[in-house]
Structure 1
Amino acid sequence: MSIAIQRLTSISIGQNAAKIMFVLQWILLLSWIPLTLYGLFFTPIMSLHDAVHPARHSVTIVPCH
């Protein structure tokens, strides 16, 4: 049973596609970090602002008042 499941769930892709997927994963990972930091420290979303307010003033010099 497990061999049949492995055959059904395995995806066979070419070497070029694997390289493209690898690069895409790194691009997404590296772009996620600055977008998350921007969301935490610079966006004017009130619920997010109130949640990270102490960290916002202790880590950055971002004016918010």
Structure 2
Amino acid sequence: MTLSEALRLLELFHERDYAQVRPHLYFKSLKSDLWVCPKGMRILPSSEAIAILDVETEQWESIPFKDVSFGLW
């Protein structure tokens, strides 16, 4: 994933309320190796990463662009 693709994904995330309307945006969590639906999302261009806010733990997880897996369900 490139920075421009990540920024477009962030734009799509903000355009829709994925907590209320389907499809839901999911990311692959590196720590748990599970698909998670984030409560929030940030683009970190300086570290070339995406940060996702976990709904349950309320903690941010940073995932490098090259390791990002995401899907819409």
TM-score, normalising length: structure 1: 0.26
Higher relative contact order structure (alpha carbons within 8 Å, sequence separation ≥ 6): 2
TM-score by length of 2: 0.23
Q: Which has the higher strand share?
A: 2
Larger relative helix fraction: 1
